[in-house]
Amino acid sequence: MISCPMPIFDFDIITPGHGSGGMLTHRLLQSGVFDIFRNDLLGQQHDGASFEISGKIAFSTDSYVVTPIFFPGGNIGDLAVNGTVNDLAMCGASAKYLSLSFILEEGLQMDELWKIMVSIKEAADKAGVMIVTGDTKVVEKGKGDKIFINTSGIGVIHPGADIHHNNIRQGDKIIISGRLATHGVTIMSLRKGLEFETELKSDTTCLGHTVKKLLDIFGTDIRFLRDPTRGGLASVLNEIAGLTKLEYLLYQDAIILDPQVEAACEMLGLDPLYIANEGIFVSVIKQEKAGSFLEELKKDINGIHAMEIGEVRSENPGKVILQSSIGGKRAVGFLPGEQLPRIC
């Protein structure tokens, strides 16, 4: 943890003036944001950051609107850094520079914003990424949900990487780096009206170093990477099944869930294949290298629970199929809308 006491502000909640561009904005930035994220590029205090970069680059953006903003295992701040850093990692890139934009709702407590900023700083340091430009806007009370964050990031692509669904071939193996649905179920357990007690923690984390290490060893034998966030594993696999016109066969028995996640899904009638994840990725690996890839991944702190869950075939082109534990098969389609809890 960074020791980063909150500076003494003469305001304890966010007001419309903090997004006005005037004096309050200036004071918020000068005594808070610039201090905590201090670096040479941000220090330019220009409309944008200027820098040189060499090599093939990846560029990604994402917005974060999670409720509640604080949850076991993290908050919207580290989520916003890890999410974009991970999107870049899935392109085979090491994140270098991030932009950071806040949309704050009038009335947000300053100490909450400070906690979020400290988490952003910690997550950025851990990922080795610099926050070089940003923006703050304030919306009226009732027009937002405390805080929305957008981050965009630029990363340099690993010279040995060629990650694209076009590289996927029949026989390739599907490997996930951790247990499914932990983040989504953690968040759900905190939502109003659904509160149920678990000891679960969100697995939000930066996957950049893990992916880099694997690319160093396996290079182009890593055909495809994706972090199955919103929509879960089923949505990612359906997307690439459609694009590659191949079948993605999953073995239900091979998909091990955290026992608490499994219990929550059974109780609420939710399918973990569709639930959002944060700290895990799904990979498609060349058949001959799948064993050693899994072995290597399991050595990493982010891959302790990694598992091979299926393979790429040609029988049902464009489909994701799940083989149940008793041997029957069924299709796993796209999710229409939101998963709604069932009656009984």
Partner 1 sequence: MKYLSEYRNPALANEYLKRIHEVVTRPWNLMEICGGQTHSLVKNGIPALLPYQVNMLHGPGCPVCVTSMHTIDEAIYIAAQEKVIFCSFGDMLRVPGSVSSLLQLKSTGADIRILYSPLEAVEIARQNPEYEVVFFAVGFETTAPANALSVIQADKMGIDNYSILASHVLVPPAMEALLGDPENSIHAFLAAGHVCSIMGIDEYYPISEKYKIPVIVTGFEPLDLLQGILMAVTQLEKGEYKVENQYARAVQREGNRLARNSMQEVFEIKDRTWRGIGPIVNSGLELNDRYKKYNARLKFKPAIPVAEENRHCISGDIMKGLKKPVQCPNFGTACNPEHPLGAPMVSSEGACAAYYHYSNTNNN
- Residue numbers at the binding site for partner 1 (CB under 8 A): 193-194, 253, 259, 262-263, 266, 268-269, 315-316, 319, 321, 323-333, 336-337, 340-344
State both tokens at 260. Answer: 């608490």
Beta carbon nearer to partner 1, 145 or 300: 145
Helix (H, G, I), strand (E, B) or coil at 147: strand
Beta carbon nearer to partner 1, 299 or 330: 330
Contacts of 10 by beta carbon, 8 Å cutoff, 6+ apart: none
C-alpha to C-alpha distance for 157 and 212, rounded to whole angstroms? 10
C-alpha to C-alpha distance for 200 and 192, rounded to whole angstroms? 17
Beta carbon nearer to partner 1, 159 or 333: 333
Closest separation between CB of residue 196 and partner 1, Å?
Answer: 9
In this structure, is the dihedral angle defined by the CA atoms of residues 181, 65, 44 and 57, taken in order, positive or negative? positive
Closest separation between CB of residue 249 and partner 1, Å?
Answer: 10
Closest separation between CB of residue 321 and partner 1, Å?
Answer: 6
Question: How far does the chain reach from its first CA to its final CA, in angstroms?
Answer: 44
Helix (H) or strand (E) holding 139: strand 130-139
Beta carbon nearer to partner 1, 38 or 330: 330
In this structure, is the dihedral angle defined by the CA atoms of residues 79, 84, 89 and 93, taken in order, positive or negative? negative
- Phi then psi for 86, rounded to 5 degrees? -70, -40
Beta carbon nearer to partner 1, 5 or 327: 327
Contacts of 154 by beta carbon, 8 Å cutoff, 6+ apart: 53, 57, 58, 59, 88, 95, 96, 97, 98
Closest separation between CB of residue 326 and partner 1, Å?
Answer: 4
Closest separation between CB of residue 63 and partner 1, Å?
Answer: 20
Beta carbon nearer to partner 1, 89 or 185: 185
Closest separation between CB of residue 4 and partner 1, Å?
Answer: 38
Beta carbon nearer to partner 1, 169 or 313: 313
Closest separation between CB of residue 336 and partner 1, Å?
Answer: 4
Are the C-beta atoms of 118 and 4 separated by less than 8 Å? yes
